[in-house]
Amino acid sequence: MKQISVDFSKITGRIKPMHSVNNGPAGSRVRGTSSFDEYAAAGIPFARNHDASFYSGYGGEHTVDVHRIFKRFEADENDPASYSFESTDRYTRDILDAGTKVFYRLGASIEHQQKFGTIPPADFAKWARICEHIIMHYNEGWADGFHYNIEYWEIWNEPDCGNPDGSNPCWQGTEEQFIDLFTTTIRHLKKRFPNLKIGGPALCSAWNEHWNEMIFTALKEQNLPLDFFSFHGYARLPEKYAESARHARELLDRYGYTDTEIILNEWNYIKGWVGDQWKYSLRMEKSLKGASFTVASMICAQNSPMDHFMYYDARPCGMCGLFDTDTLALLKGYYPFPMFNALYSLGAQAKSSSDEGIYALAAAKEDEAAVMLTHYYDEDELPAETVKISMKGLGEGVWKASFFLLDAEHDNDLVREEILSNGNAAVYVKLPLFGTYLVKLEKIGR
């Protein structure tokens, strides 16, 4: 029997936004193939808009990327006529209408074939001014724009990316050129928008020490701020994300960036990037195993220095585990997001511990509480486990426990209710491999 212990009287911090994603709702509400309602119901806190230009439903090649909005670099960056905002306006509005905040990536989507947006701009200072005007459009109403108060603005994506043949699909310049672009843009945007959060550069990994040293040496030498440090990570073990966050915290503290936020804004299950392991990974991302991995990863990230955690990807694509690529019907990987949001809505994390292979997280708010748990190993077949959830600190009175199950037959369905007579109680669940329970607790009497 596996054990989980929860003490609701001991609050360890806040439940952080670990259920954010890349990209927004998709599809056609007219045709009835839209993910909008389900996306909104999931309570997703932030949507990073990277790779939006790959999906025609968002506006395709006219969307988000700097070179897709400002199409002719020789044009006047101060002239509204030089910008094409229409597709990005519509896409941004859809995200915000779903109750999700936009995390805006300034730069270009990955380019595996012909290069356009990943070629270094001819003038880094002008590129920074173009970014300034994009921010002005969405936050200050410039060029018939808006006052959305988008807070997070990320400079570039994966400048350190490398293919097996040595090519880089994300940056065609030298390392030194990128550092120049990055520091030039930070300097300009922070001076112009001191209250916004400017950061990046969305490295492929927190562990690229060569790039880490280059970036932070340059920032320190130029006395530049960095509001957040962003990076990516794909794994098959959820603990890897917590390790990355701890490594990033040590790095930032060493260079004196003790208040800089840690943001891992691309992650998903990956067993391997080529051949049969890549095909297996894509299948698992859309399966119950992928859903359990998502839950376990959110929990591990919550219990680390991570500030934001953004799944890749909610856009209809091969790596979208939330929605069917063609019909946008819900997949098993959708349900971890509203389940985690139930804890996020409670606000405060309660102290908990669990045995190996069982990942658990607890939250509390006045006369409500919840526990989420999943049974995850990177295996394909293991027996179910009986799990004892020992709880204390709920407070005196009568409590109702409602059990919601995600497994092969259930999609976050209410499967059981129990009445608990006092604040110290134990409940038992049988949890199959890759199964997830959300146990909601409500005080119903004294």
- List the domain boundaries for the chain: 16-346, 348-445
Residues 6 or more apart whose Cβ sits within 8 Å of residue 204: 158, 160, 161, 231, 232
Gap between the Cα atoms of 240 and 265, Å rounded: 14
What is the pLDDT, as a whole number, of residue 259? 98
Backbone angles phi, psi at 426, to 5 degrees: -135, 140
- Selecting from 3.90.1150.10, 3.30.2310.20, 3.40.50.720, 3.20.20.80, what CATH number does the domain 16-346 have? 3.20.20.80
Residue 312 has pLDDT above 90, yes or no: yes
Q: What is the mean pLDDT of the chain?
A: 96
CATH superfamily of 348-445: Glycosyl hydrolase domain; family 39 (2.60.40.1500)
What is the pLDDT, as a whole number, of residue 424? 77
Handedness of CA 125, 131, 133, 139 (dihedral sign): negative
Residue 10 has pLDDT above 70, yes or no: yes
Mean pLDDT, residues 219-244: 98
Gap between the Cα atoms of 40 and 7, Å rounded: 31
Tens of pLDDT, residues 398-441: 999 999 999 999 999 999 999 998 767 999 999 999 999 999 99
Q: In the chain, what percentage of residues exceed pLDDT 90?
A: 95
Mean pLDDT, residues 373-390: 97
Token pair recorded at residue 418: 């129990």
pLDDT band at 7 (very low <50, low <70, confident <90, very high): very high
Q: Specify the pTM.
A: 0.97
Mean pLDDT, residues 220-226: 98
Mean pLDDT, residues 322-342: 97
Contact between 52 and 315 under an 8 Å Cβ cutoff? The reply is yes
Mean pLDDT, residues 258-285: 97
